[in-house]
A = this chain, B = another copy of it.
Amino acid sequence: MFSDAAPSPWQPVAGGLTAPEGFLAAGLTAGLKPSGKPDLALMLAPAGAVCAGSFTTNRVRAACVDLCAERLAAQGGLARAVLINSGQANACTGARGLADSLAATAAVAARLGLAEAEVLICSTGVIGVPIPLDTLVAGLDPLVEALAGDGGNDAAQAILTTDLVDKQIALEASLGGRRVRIGGMAKGSGMIHPNMATMLAFLSCDAGVPAELWQAMVQRAVERSFNAITVDGDTSTNDTFLAFAAGEPLDASQLGSLEAGVTAVAQHLARAIARDGEGATCLIAVQVEGASDGAAARTIARTVCGSSLVKCAIHGRDPNWGRIVAAAGRAGVPLDPEAVALWLGEHQLMEAGQPLPFDRAAASHYMKERAAGTYLSADPTKGDTVAIRLRVGSGPGSGMAWGCDLSDQYVRINADYTT
Supposing A337-B60, A411-B411 touch, asked if A320 and B418 sit within 8 A by C-beta, the answer is yes
Min CB distance A352 to B, Å, is: 8
Contacts A92-B355, A417-B313 given; indicate if A322 touches B411 (C-beta within 8 A). Answer: no
8 Å CB contacts to B: which residues of A311-358? 312-313, 315-318, 320-323, 325-331, 334-335, 337-338, 340, 350, 352-355
Question: For A309, A334, A338, which residue has the most chain B Cβ atoms within 10 angstroms?
Answer: A309
Q: Tell whether A16 is near chain B: CB-to-CB under 8 Å.
A: no
Give the oligomeric copy count. 2
Cβ contact within 8 Å between B128 and A321: yes
Q: Assuming A322-B195, A414-B308, is B233 touching A329 (CB within 8 A)?
A: no
Q: Which of B313, B330, B364 contacts A414 (CB 8 A)?
A: B313
The residue from B234, B323, B334, B364 contacting A419, defined by CB atoms under 8 A apart:
B364
Contact status A308-B233, CB under 8 Å: yes
| Chain A stretch 160-214: residues in CB contact (< 8 A) with chain B | 190-195, 197
Question: A257 interface residue, CB < 8 Å from B?
Answer: no
* Complex: chain B residue closest to A96, CB-CB: B354
Report if A58 contacts B (CB, 8 A). Answer: yes
Measured CA separation A61–B329 after assembly (Å): 8
Do B411 and A234 touch across chains, with their CB atoms under 8 A apart? no
A73 to B310 CA separation, bound complex (whole angstroms): 34
Kindly provide the distance from the CB of A195 to the nearest chain B CB, expressed in whole angstroms: 5
* Docked pose: A318 CA to B313 CA in angstroms: 27
| A59 touching B92, Cβ below 8 Å | no
Set of chain B residues within 8 Å of A219, measured between Cβ atoms: none
Instruction: Indicate if the CB atoms of B190 and A309 lie closer than 8 Å.
Output: yes
CB distance from A413 to the nearest CB of B (A): 8
Nearest B residue to A129 via CB reads: B355
| CB neighbours of A315 from chain B (8 A) | 411, 415
Cβ of A94 within 8 Å of any chain B Cβ, yes or no, is yes
Asked if B234 contacts A327 (CB within 8 A), the reply is yes
Partner of A191, one of B236, B309, B321, B337: B309
Within 8 A of B (CB), among A402-419: 406-408, 410-419
Contact B414 A411 (CB under 8 A): no
Asked whether B94 lies within 8 Å of A415 as measured between CB atoms, the reply is: no
For A193, the chain B residues whose CB sits under 8 A away are 330
Q: Is A215 an interface residue (CB 8 A)?
A: no
List 5 additional contacts besides A60-B326, A407-B411; criterion CB under 8 Å.
A91-B322, A195-B320, A197-B326, A315-B415, A320-B417
Residues of A within 8 A of B (CB): 57-61, 91-94, 126-128, 190-195, 197, 232-237, 306-309, 312-313, 315-318, 320-323, 325-331, 334-335, 337-338, 340, 350, 352-355, 364, 406-408, 410-419
